[in-house]
Structure 1
Amino acid sequence: MTGLRERKKEATRQALRAAALRLAMERGPENVRVDDIAAAAGVSKRTYNNYFASREDAIVAAVTAEREARVATALADRPAAAGLADAVIDAVVEQYTDPGGQARDALLMITASPALRASYTGTAAMIEGPLAEAITARCPGVDPLTARVLSAAVGAAVKVALQQWLEPTGPPPSPAGLVVPAGSLPDLLRAALAPLVPALEAAGRHS
C-alpha cells in the first residue's frame, strides 16, 4: 500500500508535469522558465529541482508519464500463446504510437524543439525496470539478469527508432522549425527491435 509521503510526492510530480505542459502549450517551450513551472504548481524552485533536471524534462514527462508501466501492462495482457518476442514488440509499438488528444498536440510541439526531442528520446531508457519485471512475470524461467539485459536492449532500440523518426538526415527543418518525422514510427520501431527477436525468442523458450 502506498504511503502518504509517496502519494504526496507523486501528486507534486503530477502537478509539475501538468503545469509544464500547459505553460509550454500556451507560451511556447522556449518562453517557459523553471520558476514559472514551479510557481504554477505551487512549489519552490528547489522542490522543482528535486523532481526534474530541466524544463524540457518536465514538459516531456507530461507526455510520457507512466508509459513504461503501460508497456509492462500491455505485455502482461498479450495472449499467453504469443511468443515473448511478438508480445514485447507489439506492446512497445502499441504504447509508443497511439498518442491521443493533447498528447498528439504536445508531440508535435516536441518535434519543433531540439532540446525537447533530445529529452523525449532519452526517456526510452526508463522502460528497462518495468519491462524486465513484466518479462520475468510472463516467463518465470527467465533469469532476472537476462530480463534486465533484454529490457535494456529494447530501450536502446526504441531510442534509436525515435531518434531516426524525430531527427531524420536530409533537408534542414522548415523555417518554422518543425521537423517532419521520417517514415512510419511503427515500422521504425519494428525494424529497430528486429535484431532482438532471436534473443527474446530464446529467453521465452528457456522459460
Structure 2
Amino acid sequence: MGLREEKKRETRAALSWAAIRLIVERGAENVLVEDIAAAAGVSPRTFNNYFSSKGEAVAARHLDRMVRFAEVLRERPTGEPLWTAILVAALAQVEPGPEVTALPRPDPVQWAAGVRAMLASPSLQAESLRAGVRAEAEIAASVAARTGTDAGRDLYPNLVAAAVTAANNACQQRHIASDGAASMRDLLTEAFTLLAAGLPEPGPR
C-alpha cells in the first residue's frame, strides 16, 4: 500500500472512531458531522468525501476490521488449517489502532452503556446491517480462495463466513455485556476453538 492510500485509510479510521466516541459519549442525536470532523482534525467536506452519514461512519469501523480480517486470512500459509488461520486473522484485529490508544482510556461501565445505546439506534442499525452484508461477502471470498471453492456457487465458503460473522457478533455482545471485563481475545479464541471442534454440546456443570 502506498503512502497516499495509507493516509486515506488512517483518515477513514480516525473519522469512524471519532463518530463512535462522540456518539457513545453524547448520544447520536447530539452529535453533528461537524463535531466528528473537528474531533478527527479534518473539515466537514473531508468527512463527506468518506461517508454519507454518521451511521455509515460508525459502521465503517466494523466493516474495515472485517475487510482486514479477510485480507489477513488470504495471506495465511496455505497449509495452515482453515480455523487456525481464521483465529489468527480474528486476533489480529483486536488490538486498537493509534486513533484509539492516543486518547485517555474511558470508564468501562459508562463506555459499555454508551455502546449499548448506540447499537440500539435504528439509523445506526440499518448501516450496520449493510456493512455486515459486505463484510460477510469479503470473508466468503477469502474462504473460497483458501479452500478452492466458489463463493458465488458453493455453500461452504458462505456458511463459514456466516459462522465467522455470528461468532464475532456473539463475542462483541458478551464483551459489551460484561462492561469490558470479558477479554475479546479470550472470547474469540474460545468461539473459534469451539467452531473448529464442530461446536460440541457443553458437558454437565
After TM superposition, the score normalised by the length of structure 2 is 0.62
Aligned partner of 1:134 in structure 2 is: 142
- Secondary structure in structure 2 of the residue aligned to 1:66: helix
Deviation at 1:159, TM superposition (A): 0.3
Match of 1:115 among 96, 110, 117: 117
2:187 is the alignment partner of 1:156: no
2 CA distance for matches of 1:132 and 1:193?
Answer: 16
- Contact 2:137 2:161 survives alignment (8 Å): yes
Q: What is the root-mean-square deviation of aligned Cα atoms in Å?
A: 4.1
Deviation at 1:153, TM superposition (A): 1.2
Structure with the greater relative contact order (CA < 8 A, sep ≥ 6): 1 or 2? 2
Match of 2:99 among 93, 97, 102: 102
Aligned partner of 1:182 in structure 2 is: 181
Deviation at 1:75, TM superposition (A): 0.7
Q: Deviations over 1:111-138 (max 9, x none)?
A: 3512335569876665311110001111
Tell me the matched-pair count.
170
Unaligned runs of 5+ in 2: 1-7, 200-205
**Distance of aligned partners of 1:135 and 1:15 in 2 relative to their CA distance in 1, 3 Å threshold:** closer
Map 1:22-41 to 2 at 5 A: 24-25=21-22, 28-30=25-27, 31-33=30-32, 41=44
Deviation at 1:59, TM superposition (A): 3.4
**Distance of aligned partners of 1:195 and 1:135 in 2 relative to their CA distance in 1, 3 Å threshold:** same
Aligned partner of 1:196 in structure 2 is: 195
Residue identity (%): 25
Q: Deviations over 1:39-85 (max 9, x none)?
A: 95239xxx89x944xx3552353x44522221011111212221011
Aligned partner of 2:18 in structure 1 is: 21
**Distance of aligned partners of 1:148 and 1:19 in 2 relative to their CA distance in 1, 3 Å threshold:** closer
**Distance of aligned partners of 1:93 and 1:117 in 2 relative to their CA distance in 1, 3 Å threshold:** farther
2 CA distance for matches of 1:87 and 1:134?
Answer: 11
Unaligned runs of 5+ in 1: 1-10, 169-179, 201-207
After TM superposition, the score normalised by the length of structure 1 is 0.62
2 CA distance for matches of 1:132 and 1:90?
Answer: 16
**Distance of aligned partners of 1:24 and 1:159 in 2 relative to their CA distance in 1, 3 Å threshold:** closer
2 CA distance for matches of 1:166 and 1:117?
Answer: 11
2 CA distance for matches of 1:132 and 1:19?
Answer: 24
